[in-house]
Each structure stands twice: as C-alpha cells, then as structure tokens.
Amino acid sequence: MLAGPQRVQVKPRTELDRNAIAGNMKLSLDDFDIGRPLGKGKFGNVYLAKVKKVDAIVALKVLFKSQMEKESVEHQLRREIEIQSHLKHPNILRFYNYFHDQKRVFLVLEYAPRGEMYKELQRCGRFDDQRTATYMEEISDALLYCHEKKVIHRDIKPENLLLGYRGELKIADFGWSVHAPSLRRRTMCGTLDYLPPEMIEGHTHSEKVDLWCIGVLCYECLVGNPPFETASHSETYKRITKVDLKFPKVISDGARDLISKLLRHSPTDRLSLKSVIDHPWVSSNSRRVLPPVPPPS
C-alpha cells in the first residue's frame, strides 16, 4: 500500500544542447533573438529570448550597470551568479551563462513558462491542500539540496518563485542568498513578512531561516496572505517575535500541524526539511511529478 499518491515519472523529452549556452562560451547579444518582455525589475527587465544556434528558448535578464552602481548592489549580483551557476536541481531555476557590454549585464536563465507564483496566487486567491503540499515537497527538496551545498536562500517568498511548464515550482532570485561555509550569518535581509525572529532580533542565523520562510509560504499559499501581516512594520515585527499565529478555519488540521512545527521561535525547534517531505499532510496531498531523467550521454 502506497503512503500518499504514486510519484509519476515523465518520459524525457529530447534534451537541448545546453553546452551551446552554458559554461565558458563567449556570448553576445547577437547570439539571441529577443522576444516579449517577461517582467520588469528595479535594475532592468527580463525578456523571452531564443538562442539562434540551438533554437533554445531562455529568459534573458538585462541589468543596467549604472542602476546597480547607484544602489551598490554589484556584490549581490556577483554572489547571485556565483551561487546559482553551481546549482542544478529540477526545482531551482537554472543559470546558464552571463555576458556584458559597456552599459548592461545579461544573465541567461531557464525560462519558466507559467510565470510567477505570486501572480498565480493573486489570480486564484489561495491554493488548495494538494497544490500547496506539492509546492512544499518541491521547495523542501530544493532547499535540502541548497543546504547540503552550504547555500542559505534567505528570501523565499512567492515573488521569488516561478512555475515551470508542468506547473512545478522553481526557486529563482538568489540575490540575497549566501554561500556560507559556516552556515551562520548576522546580516539583516529578506522580506518583512517572511523575516524570522532571529533576524529581527539581530542574532546570528543559520540555514534554519529557510525553514521559517517555508512555514510562512505554506500559510500564505493556503490563506492568500502571510500569517503576521499587519498595517505597520512595528506591529508585524511584534507579531513575528511573539509568533502570534492565528489559523483561519480554511486551514486543515494536517496543514496547521506542519505550519506550527515550522514557525517556532527557536530555530533548533523547527521541523527539518526531510521531516517536511515526510510529513503526513505533505505525503498524502502532494502530487509532485518527478522530472524526466536525461538519457545517458
């Protein structure tokens, strides 16, 4: 008897020759046909693009150097490139390459056809147990992989999550993440509604900040807004440090159990990522589809 739904293996499609866009190959704008804009950011825009040589569809993130210099975020970009280029997981947006000209930096990224989770959540209002549990399994698996590589994301939120062509979750935007060999940091960063108590209180923090964030994410997916949201920053801070958690009736007992085990004031009391994947509510509701296995090269 299987606990929860059977994992479905999708047959692999023909793999594109990623070597044509990844690695040390010198690229320029001439190598791409630029399509429609996919999104706008503070430092530039993201466009749908086709790599001419291999007919591969990618997302091209165009960042303006002047804007980044003005905000002193070049180090953040370098960190994002350094970290993301080493990560290869079905639930992490692939970073293929980058190049630059006098005014701009171009990042060649995997294209996620279903767009931002944030917009999908706005459109739907909230997600059901199956969809949320699937996302929880996917994000926990991806973060387990990150933490094994000593990478803490620190800014998990719907705006930084994209959806692939099967609707699978993809962690994007590693601008706030850090490759911390010691896995302990003191910097305050991340999004207010998602900040864990230890970061608000100015304590050192570890990879366990990501456990708090996925607890907040699970709640927001099921309810439509984050658990500690208030009209003012100071009130939100207060609610977070007290872990003032209120569950609406719409949240099932299983989901409530999972969220309350992740949103613990003490980082060491939070449920591990492995335990999230194995949690009865996740395993009975998740409909995660395993990615296709590429043929042996």
Pairing between β-strand 8-9 and β-strand 289-290 as defined by DSSP bridges: parallel
Instruction: Please indicate if the annotation marks 198 as binding a ligand.
Output: no
Instruction: Please indicate if the annotation marks 112 as binding a ligand.
Output: yes
111 near 59, Cβ under 8 Å? yes
153 near 182, Cβ under 8 Å? no
- SS3 state of residue 16: coil
Q: Which two tokens stand for residue 64?
A: 């303006």
- SS3 state of residue 172: coil
Instruction: Please indicate if the annotation marks 207 as binding a ligand.
Output: no
Instruction: Please indicate if the annotation marks 120 as binding a ligand.
Output: no
Q: Which two tokens stand for residue 257?
A: 């159990």
Instruction: Please indicate if the annotation marks 160 as binding a ligand.
Output: yes
Of 129, 141, 155, 193, which one is the catalytic site residue? 155
Instruction: Please indicate if the annotation marks 97 as binding a ligand.
Output: no
- Rounded to whole angstroms, the Cα distance separating 56 from 16 reads 7
- Amino acid identity for residue 38 in this structure: L
Instruction: Please indicate if the annotation marks 61 as binding a ligand.
Output: yes
Q: Is 155 an active-site residue? A: yes
Q: Which of 124, 75, 69, 132 is nearest to 102 (CA)?
A: 69
Neighbouring C-beta atoms of residue 96, cutoff 10 Å: 22
Contacts of 60 (CB under 8 A, 6+ apart): 32, 34, 46, 47, 48, 49, 106, 107, 108, 109
Instruction: Please indicate if the annotation marks 269 as binding a ligand.
Output: no
Q: Which residues are annotated as a binding site?
A: 42, 61, 110-112, 159-160, 173
**What are the catalytic residues?**
155
Q: Which residues are annotated as a binding site for ATP?
A: 42, 61, 110-112, 159-160, 173
